[in-house]
Chain A
Amino acid sequence: DAGVIQSPRHEVTEMGQEVTLRCKPISGHDYLFWYRQTMMRGLELLIYFNNNVPIDDSGMPEDRFSAKMPNASFSTLKIQPSEPRDSAVYFCASRSGPPQDTEAFFGQGTRLTVV
């Protein structure tokens, strides 16, 4: 398996533009997580899905952020409109559920810069 795949690896965009981050979880994993990492706030959970259903989106900063998981092999995190304070590394992670209950495997991350 290729692991969790995120795209793009780097994204530079202008303030006000829409940004879409993509994630392909490991096949067979039931859970998918979106995290944001910044120097100031560390690793924050934004939202997670179980079997494609959003379970907890309390970490989503505001309405400008939205996430979808249309099927078991694909998820998106969208920011519209983007702002400079959204600049961060965004990680997608996946893991299997019970009884395997594995550790979470992370993608390489998307480094987003909003100028």
Chain B
Amino acid sequence: AQKITQTQPGMFVQEKEAVTLDCTYDTSDQSYGLFWYKQPSSGEMIFLIYQGSYDEQNATEGRYSLNFQKARKSANLVISASQLGDSAMYFCAMRCPNAGNMLTFGGGTRLMVKP
């Protein structure tokens, strides 16, 4: 079975600083995808970044980057130069084509950016 663990229920970061949100996963599949979503207080789920298990380079999307350490089964999200609008819930998710192809989500981390 696939499992995603986010060990930080809540985090604070000072505006303009970088922050790392942790995510570890467990799967026996060799092929899988890792995703991060942002959920602001308005409730919608916003896709941020994707990393494939065979991608050799860490994914980056603007201020978001994914620190992918395959041997450790971790896929941490790094947000650089935090902005007040980054305050939200962040969810890590995994998809395994050999296991139904649906997204399995972690419990989320609430990020609060301090001015």
Contacts and interface: CB of A to CB of B under 8 A. Distances in A.
B43 interface: yes
| A: contact size bracket | 20 to 34
Given A42-B107, A42-B108, A104 B47 contact: yes
| B: contact size bracket | 10 to 19
Given A42-B107, A43-B91, A91 B45 contact: yes
Interface centre among A89, A91, A93, A103 (most CB of B within 10 A): A103
Majority DSSP secondary structure for residues of A touching B: strand
B104 interface: yes
Interface of B: 33, 35, 37, 43-45, 47, 50, 91, 100-108
Nearest to B101: A31
Given A103-B35, A103-B50, A42 B44 contact: no
Contact of B102 (A48, A89, A97, A108): A48
Contacts of A74: none
Contacts of A55: 100
Contacts of B102: 33, 45, 48, 56
9 contacts: A33-B102, A33-B103, A42-B105, A45-B103, A48-B102, A91-B45, A93-B45, A103-B50, A111-B43
Interface in A68-115: 89, 91, 93, 97, 101, 103-106, 108-109, 111
Contacts of B33: 101
